[in-house]
Structure 1
Amino acid sequence: MAERYTAQEMLARLVSFPTVSSRSNLDLIEFVENYLAGHGIASTRVPDATGTKAALHAIVGPALDNGVVLSAHTDVVPVEGQAWSSDPFTLREADGRLYGRGTCDMKGFAALMLAAVPDMAAAPLTRPVHLALSYDEELGCLGAPPMIDNMLSDGPRPAMAVIGEPSSMKVITAHKGTALLQVSVRGHSVHSSQWDRGVSAIANAARIIAWLDDRTRENRDRADPGLAMDPPFTTLHCGVIEGGTAANIMARSCKFVVDIRTVPGETRQMWQARLEGFVRDEIEPAMQQVLADTGVTIECIADSPALAEEADGPAEGLARRLTGDNGRHMVVYGTEAGQFQERGISSVVCGPGSIDQAHQPDEFIEIAQLAAGERFVSRLIADLSR
């Protein structure tokens, strides 16, 4: 007999899989595969290069174009170093809240769409629901692009996507892009007393980081006050740096990671090109006057585009119809929505829970938010059955 779960029961199952981004998510994927198969629904795995993780997508309803994607990521952030009041991977109910890692970000939405599968399968759908579960969103939205490409090459083309990141069931129509650049500076190591004979990788890294900070301040000063984001400008930030071996040795190497949050209309490529131009014109010439083998390497290690507002976007129209929300909402955190949009699929972000709870100890979702999400999915099924 096919298994049925309430949304809360499904959330408990999903939370029980410790799918921290540094670990495999295959146990969760296998559970979902078997659950869908029990309802007569075939699914497709899209493994990563290592074979230790996979995305999954499936179609419920007729194999036709113009369906709607419900999308969630399966990975969660670590719990180490956080003061939890209970086991993070055991769902706990208290005071109208459900506690556990991923309850808000974003297994709550995954639970909603999976718990509704029996209702979807029984409904007279005239357009399909595409279920999509990705991996490594928390590492830079790495798992969604191959999944989306596989969906589009493997079957009917969906018209819209709802990415269920926590938005308190508000309709998010735009968000910033997110990208990570790894910058590696190759210097020349000498004793610190012989400063003129060496090339300090740390000193040159510092000049680059200062350039990033200066550009962010310029962006702040020219920001569009009408952009409903906080802050309403692109930011370039170094959050991780390592280099050097001793205080009295000029550093031969220094590496750091640049976090770029682009407003819609700007891209990682644009900012990487500006950074590379600054390095080429202002940093490397002085370094290579001392030693030709010195220099700077810039590598993009993650890139997820911004979600741009769509004029009369069908996904926005659908989500507003189902939620009743008519406000204009933009956010500064990134999601996989921009990756669906860049492939021509109208997209919005709309899901249960508050982003304020994401990544926090004692992460929770309010039961009322889960109920609001259930109403959303139920209305979607009815909308697609007309």
Structure 2
Amino acid sequence: MYDVIVVGARCAGSPTAMLLARRGHRVLVLDRASFPSDTVSTHYIHQSGLTRLRDWGLLGELAATNAPAIRRANFAYRDIELSGFADPVDGIDTGYAPRRAVLDQILVNAARRAGAEVVEGFGVSDLVFSEGRVVGVRGRERGGPEREFRADIVIGADGCRSIVAKRTRAEPYKVVPATGVNYYAYHSGLDWALEHRVGFNEIWCGGWPTNDGLTVLAVICGKNRFKEFRQDVEANFQATFDEIHPELGAQLRDQGKREGDFVAMPHADNYYRHPWGPGWALVGDAGYHKDPYPGFGITDAFMHSEILAERLHQALSGERPMDSALAEYHKLRDETSASNYEFTTKLSAFGELSPRLRAVFGAIRRSPEWTTKLFGLFAGGVEHHEIFSRQAVERLYDDTGVPPHERVYG
């Protein structure tokens, strides 16, 4: 009998397990994958996510891999271009975009060192219920007999297609349909900063350095163009860079060499799921997912894992009732993610900016200080109200000399 079973051992599951095991709880982690192994991912960890790794004692391990530190970003939304980087966030002045085979192995190892039992290659096929409450899981290792494990609580950290969410019928809400499909591939021969560029025809291209001297290059096309795009992925991939930023397109053509196959990443809808019930909870993409465009997935998984683990510890140690602890986790998860969720779903449509956003972004590009502040928003060191509240927008317009007749607030 375990205190906690965590289904899924990647960037939401292993941190949750590690934090609970460090508090002395008996934790079992199950994942159908074996590690190290890759998975579909944006790769990027924002500075606020790296602060969690540092506080958990894991940032040094990541820095010791050959994933390069990222300290320069180029952002464009159609004809509005910004270059710079965020100020340090709680002392962290860089971003990283590690391969998931590297990152997830660090996290799995940390969970094991903390005392969690990790079983790789185990596929959970069902939950075990007793009197309407989840009391365990059922599944099997590859080729082995079916096994059953029981615990006080089962955590689904098993992604968008979560078996835990499915079997508990976790209710989705605030759903915003996905608009795009992502293709990415690793390339050698390029020396780019973080590139993040939206074009005029519902397309996006980006690139960021990762392990082994490689650069992750990615494009997003609207779902209405997916059928056409996949007929010749390589040509359309190159054409997207050519259309959005011809200079990057030329560098890709002349200097870049693709290393490995293209990876398709069809976007799941943006959603929240009700993240808890009798004997169960959800964390990471299992409970909350948004478009990969801003690359917040890993960072959010770290932040929400920490929130959940702290509340579960309080409940498992008898400090408060389990329902109260999980309800607070639900509240904090939604409150801390609400602004980013709204911001992401607006921008990831890749349509024409609202008059207000166009005016705000247009003013920001006139000021290095405000540009740094906007990158700080992406990095997790600046709150939305510091840029987008009425008072902040007024200061922005004053600082950048926007004439009264060009100021848009609504």
Query: Fold-level match, TM-score > 0.5?
Result: no
Length-normalised TM-score, structure 2:
0.29
Larger fraction in helix: 2
Relative contact order, CA 8 A, sep 6+: which one is greater? 1
